Amino acid sequence: MNAMGANFVQYGYSNTAGNTTFQDSPVLTTHDGSLLVVFASAGNQFEQVGPFAVSDGLNTFHRLPLTHFFHGQVFGGTTVEAFYAFNIAAHVGKIRASGWANSGGYSQIDVAEYSCDGGWGATDPIDTSNNGAGNGTPSVFLSLAQANELLVAHIMVNTPANWAWRQLISRTGRPGNLICDPVTAASLGDFQPLLSGGFFADGVGGAGSFYVGCAAAFKVPAAPTSSLLQMGVGR
């Protein structure tokens, strides 16, 4: 039986204070056939309700409405959303998140690119998505339709709490306890659970902190080689 393979390619991040109308990522060189997962965050005392969009000027990005959430006690108010594009055409340039209605606060974009053993193909790989927010240990719950899905999550924590992912592999290049600052806040991680069913994208530490985040899971096509993510290659 073929194994399932999803491979982390790169991560890009950008944050700007005082501008929630749009946010550009760094210049990224993406690759044919990849999956792009984009998390857009806007800081404002008012919930940002869109219409939201993500674009690189070439590929089609899909919004995940179930990832939308506003928490008024995270950095004085933060709205989060997630988007994705699959089986993309290669592109060199910036990815822009737009649609924030109010100025002030900050805006942030986090982008992760994933290849797939054998390619993602023409079938939309999205399975499910969800948001999570509250006062306690950061967590987002997903119910997965099949084993070995690629789960990508993004969580922002309001106060220093030595928080770090529990099972997910951090791709931000920053320790978990630095995500309390919106200038460095970007706790993006991924994982391929071995089983289907309920899964918590969560961490250790952080109890008592206000947090807001979201996650999405993608069905990884069957492929002839084993999963580099599950084997731990690239960690």
Domain spans of the chain, in order of start: 3-231
Q: Say what the pLDDT of residue 161 is.
A: 58
Gap between the Cα atoms of 30 and 32, Å rounded: 7
* pLDDT tops 60 at residue 120: yes
* pLDDT tops 60 at residue 188: yes
Residue 103: band (very low, low, confident or very high) from pLDDT cuts 50, 70, 90: low
**Secondary structure letter of residue 89 according to DSSP:** P
Residue 2: band (very low, low, confident or very high) from pLDDT cuts 50, 70, 90: very low
CB 153 within 8 A of CB 213: yes
> Does residue 201 or residue 234 have the better pLDDT?
201
pLDDT tens digit sequence for 3-39: 468 999 999 988 877 665 678 899 999 999 999 999 9
- Could you give the dihedral angle defined by the CA atoms of residues 193, 167, 79 and 27, in that order, rounded to the nearest 10 degrees? -90
* pLDDT tops 70 at residue 92: yes
Q: Say what the pLDDT of residue 83 is.
A: 97
* 50-54, 95-99, 171-175, 215-219: range with lowest mean pLDDT: 171-175
Distances (CA, A) of 167 to 26, 79, 104, 130, 204: 27, 25, 35, 18, 10
* 98-112, 147-161, 194-208: range with lowest mean pLDDT: 98-112
Distances (CA, A) of 177 to 105, 126, 168: 21, 30, 15
Residue 195: band (very low, low, confident or very high) from pLDDT cuts 50, 70, 90: very high
Residue 102: band (very low, low, confident or very high) from pLDDT cuts 50, 70, 90: low
CB 160 within 8 A of CB 177: yes
b/e map 56-69, b = 16+ CB within 10 Å: beebebebbeebbb
Q: Which helix (H) or strand (E) holds 228?
A: helix 228-231
Q: Taking residues 126-130, what's their average pLDDT?
A: 98
Q: Say what the pLDDT of residue 87 is.
A: 96
Q: Say what the pLDDT of residue 4 is.
A: 63
Q: Say what the pLDDT of residue 135 is.
A: 87
Q: Say what the pLDDT of residue 18 is.
A: 65
User: How many C-beta atoms lie closer than 10 Å to residue 115's C-beta?
Assistant: 18
CB 106 within 8 A of CB 185: no
Q: Taking residues 132-146, what's their average pLDDT?
A: 92
> Does residue 234 or residue 183 have the better pLDDT?
183
Average pLDDT, the chain: 84
Distances (CA, A) of 71 to 148, 154, 228: 31, 14, 35
* pLDDT tops 70 at residue 224: no
